Amino acid sequence: MYGEPHKIREVAERLERRAEQLRSEADELHTASETSPWVSVAGDRMRAHARERRDELLGVAREYDEAAERIRDHAAEVQRLLDLIAAIERQVRAIIGEAVSRIKDAVSAIAGGIKDALTPGDEDDKRLAETPTPPPGHKDWLDMPDVVPGVRL
């Protein structure tokens, strides 16, 4: 899943350039064979063979184009997942940060002599504050919506 979408797209661009080179070679082969002044059965066979090779080159070029398109699709999916990971990471960090702030506020209130500072929701805040988070950009952020309530996708 990890990857750099721009590097993946560069692979697709290389495949597209190679496909264009193959089409160019096919055109050159076709032009050279069809404009040959060679008039004989052997010349006709050479032209037929050159047409077959041209068609094969064009077929390979199409396969390169198809591969490039699949690679571009993959790059888009990698980018989508990286964006999703980042969005989940931001939300989870914000939710945990809010829980930590509420706990700090509750501790301050207790220290200030307010006895009713803790409410039943404070246990949830303690659990949230202690929630381990994956490293930035890690795929485990995709699991965090199941762990941290309030993450919206």
Would the pTM count as exceeding 0.75? no
Count of all residues that appear for the chain in the document: 153
Within a domain: 28: yes
Number of folded domains that form the chain: 1
Query: Residue 153 domain-assigned?
Result: no
Helix (H) or strand (E) run with residue 4 in it: none
Per the CB < 8 A criterion, the answer to whether 149 and 96 are in contact is no
Q: Mean pLDDT over residues 34-61, rounded?
A: 96
Label residue 114 left, alpha or beta by phi (over 0 means left) and psi (-120 to 50 means alpha).
Answer: beta
Residue 122 lies in a domain: yes
pLDDT given at position 142: 93
